[in-house]
Amino acid sequence: MTARLDGFAFPPRRPAERLGVAVVSELVELIVTGQLDAGQLLPPEGPLSEHFGVSRTVIRESVKRLEEKGLVVVSQGRGTQVARVGSWNMLDPVVLSALIDNDESLGVLDELTIVRGSLEAAMAGTLASRRTPEELTRVEHALAVMREIRHESDSFRQADVVFHFTVMELSGNRLAENICKRLYRRAMESSRFHGMAYESAFESTLDEHARVVDAIARQDVAAAERTMRDHIVTSWQRRRLAGPGGGPAR
């Protein structure tokens, strides 16, 4: 049954083992999907407590979690106001999941790909500029593993992840590595990110990875950056599902 508070209709509640987690999850989704707009005030503790069937203490803790995620601003005497998008912590796992899971247009994954491509390109360039023979061997081995298990989709996908994580780790850029891994891991959990199968997927992926390895081997910084960025962006474009009213991106 849908409840109404001050003209706002909450969707039916979902069962959950931990009520506090459920409250935060539902409120995050309402904010991320725009059902609670920027600048809008959350209902008071009493009505929220009644709607969720939890104590006011749970509501207060849940609002505190929302504030930590940058989704709301709590002002004494004014209440709890939904924050603008630019203030959200989009690397927060709950926020990032809500963004990806509720984005029918795939715009969030498009943005994620651009950010990931830029960061991984920079890391590939850094590795190319100062790689040791031992580090090159590790990258080459990661590519060799991919070649050995081609045509085995799940194993190939895992080997692909290992290749990218190896380049990230060897770059020595801990901040970029951390951000990319958060984005990559969460994207991998989404069926939308895997998108459509396409002809010659194994071959094109191996070829693009080989170009990255070649650039790193030659210590060509510009080529390493370009080939890594191009691989990440074009591979997403090839498998990208259609958005509303359109065909697959090219």
Residues 74, 16 share a domain: yes
pLDDT above 70: residue 243: no
CATH number for the domain spanning 16: value is 1.10.10.10
Terminal Cα distance for the chain, rounded: 43
Residues 172, 73 share a domain: no
Is residue 247 a part of any domain in this protein? no
Which range (2-6, 121-125, 174-178) has the least confidence?
2-6
> What does the DSSP assignment read for 172-215?
--HHHHHHHHHHHHHHHT-HHHH----TTHHHHHHHHHHHHHHH
Number of domain units in the chain: 2
Is residue 98 a part of any domain in this protein? no
pLDDT above 90: residue 248: no
Q: The whole model's pTM is what?
A: 0.81
Residues 210, 131 share a domain: yes
CATH number for the domain spanning 112: value is 1.20.120.530
pLDDT confidence of residue 246: 38
The parent domain of residue 234 ranges over 103-239
Structure tokens at 164: 């990218």
Residues 119, 15 share a domain: no
- Contacts (Cβ under 8 Å, ≥6 apart) of 236: 109, 110, 113, 195
Is residue 95 a part of any domain in this protein? no
